Structure 1
Amino acid sequence: MTRTAVVTGGGTGIGRAVAEELVRRGLDVVVTGRRADVLVNNAGGLADGADLERRWPADYELNVVTAVLVTTALQPRLNDQARVVTIGSIAGRRGGGSYGAAKAAVEAWTAELAFRLGDRGITANVVSPGFVDGTEFFGGAMGDQRRADLVAQTANGRAGTPADVAATVAFLTSPEAGHVTGQVVAVNGGAHLGR
């Protein structure tokens, strides 16, 4: 039986790397996004330029509501033993204003989802990256000093890559991860430990 994956926001960056890794592992992958069963909720982002009253609901919509709506719509089509992975962020545990609050909400929703789907053997987890080079998240606004500061927060002295995140997602979507559910897996070189 062929396994199928849906990757939201899979046209670039982490989403694209996740989709490519899942294809390498033999899954049929459906990519959704603005650019053209396992469910990977990758779509999300940071509301740029919005004032306070618009930024909080916009970040919640981009990061929480999209994952909830897609997962709810596809839930009847998920086979027993399916996997749901949602991309979170280190900001969900370290602050980050409206974006961090939205990513923290993703973690809480995923914990509830794990219990709602668990009796069918379906797992639900969050992969929570720190700074990842090679994405469009910062919209070209990442300066050399900010990049150096973020890398300095890691234990391994390097930025993450989309492939780092994709490999973790691939494990969580594998049959071997059947007893890993309701978890937040940090992929940030130890930056979440603080110094």
Structure 2
Amino acid sequence: MGRIVLVTGGGSGIGRAVAARFRAAGDTVVVTGRNGERLARAAAEIGARAITCDATDPEQVARMADELGPELDVLVNMAGGNTDLTAPAGEGLGEVLRAWRANLDANLLSAVLTTTAVRDRMRPGGSIINIGSIGAEYAASSYGAAKAALAAWTAGLSSEVGPKGVTANLIAPGYIAETGFFHGKLSEDRRSALIAATHNGRAGHPDDVAATTFFLASEGARHITGQTLHVNGGAHTTR
């Protein structure tokens, strides 16, 4: 019997690749996102179920959890993105506050709300996988700080869900091509610099993150929990 998998932000980019990877293994996959038309199209293409939901809205998250059903095996909190790229902060303190709250909502609180809404549905042997960013290592921006907070929260979450037989980990991608993350604002010079910073001389691809996500939800990863796994080609190394 296949698992039940929930992928937030599953309508495009990395989220869609993650959802497709689980579907290819025969799992039942539910994808969520704010853009209902795009979400429905992606779900139809990969054979998933779509539930339109803004993961920063408590009422919508609660409704999504009710529609999801009583059991869940894998939660992938993919929803997010750098809101500064679409609505940059102005110079006033009020604008700075708005911009920081937007990134915290999109990248931290979306995962907190979704996880809180569905964690009691997680079956033993389940996995919670949050998607962070290499930007957390350079957290001068609101986006990096939000992703750093997500990593810290994931480590604490692991201790809470571990006694129930559930793991909690975070994947921190580096530069991933073939997504809409930069909203057309990535210059060729910056792109070249991001690739040059890797050890293997290439950009990441959504399937790189999807494969790591699938592994963390597998039987072979049952003793990996509370960790941050970097998927960046060596652009940031740990020891």
TM class by shorter-chain length?
over 0.9
Name the counterpart of 2:4: 4
> For 1:57-136, what aligned pairs fall within 5 Å after superposition?
57-136=101-180
- SS of residue paired to 2:125: coil
Cα offset, 1:54, TM superposition: 1.0
Cα offset, 1:96, TM superposition: 4.8
Cα offset, 1:49, TM superposition: 2.2
Name the counterpart of 1:21: 21
- What is the number of equivalent residue pairs in this alignment? 194
Name the counterpart of 1:41: 77
Query: Any gaps of 5 or more consecutive residues in structure 1?
Result: none
Superimposed CA distance per residue, residues 149-193 of structure 1 (whole angstroms, 9 cap, x where no aligned partner) = 000000000000000000000000112111000000000000013
- SS of residue paired to 2:178: coil
- Which range is displaced more, 44-53 or 157-166? 44-53
What letter corresponds to residue 28 of structure 2 in structure 1?
D
- SS of residue paired to 1:73: helix
Q: Distance between the aligned counterparts of 1:54 and 1:18, measured in 2?
A: 31
- SS of residue paired to 2:171: strand
Superimposed CA distance per residue, residues 88-130 of structure 1 (whole angstroms, 9 cap, x where no aligned partner) = 0001113351000000000011001000000111000001000
- Which range is displaced more, 23-32 or 178-187? 23-32
* Higher RCO structure (Cα 8 Å, ≥6 apart): 1
Q: Distance between the aligned counterparts of 1:170 and 1:80, measured in 2?
A: 17
Query: Any gaps of 5 or more consecutive residues in structure 2?
Result: 40-72, 90-95
Q: Percent identity?
A: 51
Matched-pair contact (CA < 8 Å) for 1:94–1:192? no
RMSD: 1.2
Runs of 4+ in 1 over 6 A off after TM superposition: none
TM-score normalised by the chain length of structure 1? 0.96
Does 2:212 correspond to 1:168?
Answer: yes
Name the counterpart of 2:62: none
Name the counterpart of 2:57: none
